[in-house]
Structure 1
Amino acid sequence: MSDSGTNGSGRGGGPRQGGQSSGRSGSHRDAKGRERNRGPRTFTDNAPSQRTRRADPARLVAFEVLRAVASEDAYANLVLPARIRHHGLDKRDAGFATELSYGALRGQGTYDAVLARCVDRPLDQLDPAILDALRIGAHQLLAMRVPAHAALDQTVGLARAVIGAGPSTLINAVLRKVSARSLEEWLELLLSEETDETRIASTRYAHPEWIVRALRQSLVAHGRPVAEINDLLAADNAAPVVNLVALPGLGSLDEALEGGATPGELVADSALSSGGDLGRLASVREGSLRVQDVGSQLVARAMAAVDLGDRTTRSSGAADGGERWLDLCAGPGGKAALLAALARQQGAHLLANESAPHRAKLVRQALSAVPEEGWSVRTGDGREMGAEQPESFDRVLVDVPCTGLGALRRRPESRWRRTPKDLVDLGPLQRQLLKSALDAVKPGGVVAYVTCSPHPAETTAVVSDVLRKREDLELLDAGAVLDSVSLTGGLDAGHDLTAQLWPHVHQTDAMFLALIHKKA
């Protein structure tokens, strides 16, 4: 986050220097020439009647996002746009609120370690609202280009306005201690006697220790050097660029490019945007231009691109006797929309299945930009599809529910919510859905098993367990197919016939892909 200038709300300024606690400067003599024993006071040091008593709207948005995440189990990417619109933030303030919200959530583990050194009680004994305000202040002081005095004054003003005068005094005292050191100086202090590599990485890169171990294991499982772990963790903490896709044959990138987006370098019909209110674009509102990670675009295109030749029997359920496609876990509809557009180009029909009625409604909305004759939506349990419609589809995408360890940069709160138990709980569901998909696909057809997690318990272990029990299945070279649908080729994503994308290598979410062919 880089802002220029300094305005009344205290945003902006150059990089802060470690050790500056209040930004004091100037002469130490008063108007009569007498020596003063301290420099001129900043706004934060003024008498109570002169201190900021209002909540800066951008910081208020960030505070409300953190409160919703903590108290309502909300997702930041869903809450944030609504709060920005509610408070009427302009583009600059919306960018500030976005960086502050996501940055405070991503860095929570590191900031809590710092705050624990500055608070005279365990953090879990603090009121949760106070702790969220402290995290917002810590992120400004340690990781943003905000002058220390502005970060202090505005965060204390926020606390005074929305929490109370008493808590604001505590917040002021704690954040003054935080401001005494730069982030690197705090990390040096926190890690000075630590020797365990996992705990060091956990504190430095703000990931729970179990996720550090899980990602290290994931690198090895997919054929990458374990030495890449720090690069991977750092990539999780980088603010992601917004990826756009124009639905093939239906949408256009022109409006986005005119608004400052740049053409995507990895996949056709894609663009990269710096963000802002994309809802202002007519093509986004009508659904022909969509926000979708490039990794998701690639795996959907890979399923559509597998050459089946004449190995499957055409179904009368598809337009002109063409192929039938199935998106088994379609909600909320991003991949389904892209698949429906691709199916339309190939004379195929897409059935999008979603078990939850409210998510099925979102799927219908996502598909609305594609002519209706090319798709349909089913609300039902995906685990039953194989029994209800056996050997009925030429291509099946099964994007299973997972821990989301591959999308931590986009869903920063997930790293603090997920536990190792989630891996155990999700495993049976993932296997049941994959088995259903394999029963639903025709002989000669293909199933694309997809997760937004690189963890072997959710990727290679699931695929190998299911394939081990059947002789009518074989893996296709998923890495080669991904290369064929990318603009560059040579993605270096393949390993043992499966494929794994990475944030630190491909600048995508860590999407896993296995292409399973049912022998004719």
Structure 2
Amino acid sequence: MSPERSQNRSSGSGRAPQQRQGRDAQGRQRSGSRGRGGQRSGWSQSAPSQRARTTTSARQVAFEGMRAVRENDAYANLVLPRLLRQHRLEPRDAGFATELLYGTLRTQGRLDGIIARCVDRELADVDPAVLDVIRLGAYQLLDMAVAPHAATSETVALARANVGAGAPGFVNAILRRVGEKDLEQWIAEAAPARGDDENAHLAFVHSHPQWMVRSLGDALAAHGRSRSEIDDLLAAQNQPPAVSLVMRPGLTDAEELQAAGASPGRLSIFAASWPAGDPGKAVPVAQGRAAVQDEGSQLAALALGLGADDLVRSEDDFHWLDLCAGPGGKTALLAGLSVERDADLLAIEVQEHRTELVERAVKTLADAGADVDVRAADGRTIGAEMPARFSRVLADVPCTGMGALRRRPEARWRRTPGDVGQLGKLQRELLESALEAVAPGGVVAYVTCSPHVAETLFVLKDVLRGREDIEQLDARPAVAAGLLPGLESSTDLGDGPAVQLWPHIHGTDAMFIALLRRTA
């Protein structure tokens, strides 16, 4: 190891000698600016072991969220609300904890690349809880407008309160090394050169796994866009999404939501934007007449429930099916739309606990008269059990979630290329079942929250191969039917026939929407 390299690393022992120069026999340290021309102020009032072992609640919440994600494979967006309620944080502190937890999870890959240059061992050999603390401190130093002394001292206190006696010194040393450079300088030093390996460079800068960077670039090209958009796409997936609300059809309206504190939505005719804080405190949300839902998900459901009105050719249009209903957001929107069309809706979900979520999502609509039947069943068998029964079928299939990385910050580090292949088999089986369940003249919406070509275009190609009874429709007019007036012609919905939404273009999750009609 070079002398320069050695100076930029910490041994990380985390163990301090019992008495050091500048301390008395009780371990108290001189305060003031001794040795720098300042007046001696005497001895500190406490030994290190007696100093505060607590940290601010906001940082404690973020640490507990990191631990739950790491130890329990929890989802941050489900864990954090519970922790915020448990610690009863004020809105400002809750906002800080949210940014700290989500931001640290999003940028974990880049943070680890920087931290690795400041530690004298492999990161795998660092205690996981200690590494979580260091990541939280490094994110404050590099990505948040937190004063360096506050970021370091509060993070050291976090280590002292949660990890152990040897950790604070180690954490302090590492964060001091991290704080010697700003983010731009660290990227210049640590990121692979773009000319040598563009995917590796982008993966470091935007903190994505390399395989995802490559797959997203391929998706842009396959969906008719330029690969040069990859920087904008990756950057957009690191931006915290705005909170979007959806109005349950017939139960609330834009005026009521705006009176409750919301502002108009950006795209969907049923959307509103929530500025900050807990939207659950808004009366329409608390009563189930509105809910949190990304506008891309709204447009996917509206394409079938509203935009397909002119596409359905079946003898009747009174039986609808949601093949993979959990957790129920799109189901509820379909249920509301079905009332005006005098249709019933069967919602299928294979997992029991997600079935309960669907029931909760549609309860207010069912109480208001929507004919909704929620069942725990396997969507892959519905086509055989109820063939040619439904005029509209939503197949919102399980996927890698690569299009929702903004709101699921830990997902990028959990998924692997192998997941794409495993999910592909399930996606094909569910789409085949949907095509068997739809009646002649009926329409199937194949939807994923992923732009990956193996989950979108390739699935369609494989399932439709050899089937002369299915035609793919142009989904663009159906999606446009759910847009706010005036946006139909100005919103870029691609070249068709499927629609791929993008975070950097539409400000939504990267929803893929394809419409298929059974012809015989």
Q: What TM-score, normalized to structure 1? A: 0.89
Which residue number corresponds to residue 374 of structure 2?
377
Structure 2 residue 340 is matched with structure 1 residue 345: yes
Specify whether residues 225 and 516 from structure 1 end up closer, same or farther in structure 2 by C-alpha distance, changes over 3 A only. Answer: same
User: What do the CA deviations read for 1:405-450 (whole angstroms, capped 9, x no partner)?
Assistant: 0001110100000000001101111000000000000000000000
Change (3 A) 1:289 1:39: farther
Q: CA deviation at 1:479?
A: 1.8
Q: How does 1:227-242 map to 2 (within 5 A)?
A: 227-242=228-243
Q: Which moved more, 1:488-497 or 1:419-428?
A: 488-497
Alpha-carbon deviations, 1:220-256, whole Å to 9, x = none?
0100000000000000001110110111111234454
1:334·1:366 contact (CA, 8 Å) conserved in 2?
A: yes
Detail structure 1 runs of 4+ shifted over 6 Å in the superposition: 38-41
CA distance in structure 2 between the aligned counterparts of 1:356 and 1:430, rounded to whole angstroms: 16
In structure 2, the partner of 1:313 is 315
Q: Which amino acid aligns with 2:236?
A: A
Deviations 1:287-318 (A, max 9, x none): 1110000000001000112135772122xxxx
- Give the alignment partner of residue 481 of structure 2, picking from 460, 481, 484: 484
Aligned twin of 1:358: 353
Residue aligning to 1:55: 55
Residue 274 of structure 1: how far off its partner (Å): 2.8
Quote the residue 1:392 is aligned against: 389
Tell me the SS of whatever aligns to 2:447.
strand
Q: Distance in 2 between matches of 1:312 and 1:232?
A: 40
> Aligned letter for 1:59?
R
Is 1:79 aligned to residue 96 of structure 2?
Answer: no
Aligned residues of 1:382 and 1:436 also touching (Cα < 8 A): yes
Q: Distance in 1 between matches of 2:89 and 2:235?
A: 29
Which residue in 1 is equivalent to 2:105? 105
Give the match for residue 10 of structure 2. none
Distance across 1 between alignment mates of 2:399 and 2:35: 65
Contact 1:308 1:444 in 2 (8 A): no
Q: CA deviation at 1:47?
A: 6.2
Residue 131 of structure 1 aligns with an amino acid whose one-letter code is: L
Partner AA of 1:247 in structure 2 = R
Distance 2:290 2:282 in 1: 9
2:418 counterpart of 1:421: yes
Helix, strand or coil at the partner of 1:307: helix
Other-structure match for 2:325: 330
Secondary structure at 1:267 match in 2: coil
Contact 1:255 1:281 in 2 (8 A): no
Q: Does the 8 Å contact 1:243/1:294 carry over to 2?
A: yes
The question of whether the paired residues in 1 share the 8 Å contact of 2:34 and 2:40 is answered with: no
Secondary structure of the corresponding residue to residue 471 of structure 2: strand
Q: Which residue of structure 2 aligns with residue 268 of structure 1?
A: 269
3-state SS of paired residue (2:468) = coil
| 1:441 and 2:438 correspond | yes
Amino acid at match of 1:366: A
Give the Cα–Cα distance (whole angstroms) in 2 for the partners of residues 507 and 73 of structure 1: 28
* Bigger mean CA deviation after superposition, 252-261 or 124-133: 252-261
| Structure 1 residues 309 and 450: CA distance shift in structure 2, 3 A | closer
Give the letter for the 2:286 counterpart.
R
- Shift of residue 340, structure 1, vs aligned partner: 0.3
Query: What SS is found at the alignment partner of 2:481?
Result: helix
The correspondence of residues 405-416 of structure 1 with structure 2, limited to 5 A, is: 405-416=402-413
Alpha-carbon distance, 1:120 to partner = 1.1
How far apart, CA to CA, are the structure 2 residues paired with 1:153 and 1:274?
32
Counterparts of 1:498 and 1:51 in 2: how far apart (Å)?
62
Query: Which consecutive residues of structure 2, in runs of 5 or more, have no partner in the other structure?
Result: 1-30
Q: Is the 8 A contact 2:345 2:373 kept in 1?
A: yes
Which position in structure 1 is the counterpart of 2:293? Answer: 292
1:463 lines up with 2:438 in the alignment: no
CA shift, 1:480, in A, is 2.4
Q: Deviations over 1:370-402 (max 9, x none)?
A: 035521112111000000000000000000000
Distance 2:319 2:39 in 1: 75
1:199-238 matches, cutoff 5 A: 199-238=200-239
State the AA in 1 paired with 2:387.
P
- Paired position in structure 2 for 1:451: 448
TM-score, length-scaled by structure 2: 0.89
Matched, 1:70 2:91: no
Q: Residue in 1 aligned with 2:150?
A: 150
Rounded to whole Å, the distance in 1 between the matches of 2:39 and 2:150 is: 17
Q: 8 Å contact 1:478–1:494 — kept in the other structure?
A: no
| Distance 1:201-1:444 versus aligned 2 partners, 3 A rule | same
Change in CA separation of 1:292 and 1:230 when aligned onto 2, cut-off 3 Å: same
Q: 2:203·2:209 contact (CA, 8 Å) conserved in 1?
A: yes
Q: Structure 2 vs 1, CA of residues 75 and 265 (structure 1 numbering), >3 Å: closer, same or farther?
A: same
Using the TM superposition, give the Cα deviation of residue 40 of structure 1 relative to its aligned residue in structure 2, in angstroms.
Answer: 11
Cα pair distance change 1:394/1:169, threshold 3 Å = same
| Distance across 2 between alignment mates of 1:240 and 1:352 | 28
Root mean square deviation of aligned Cα: 2.2
**Secondary structure, aligned partner of 2:244:** strand
Contact 2:348-2:376 within 8 A present in 1 as well: yes
Taking the aligned partners of 1:202 and 1:474, their CA distance within structure 2 comes to 39
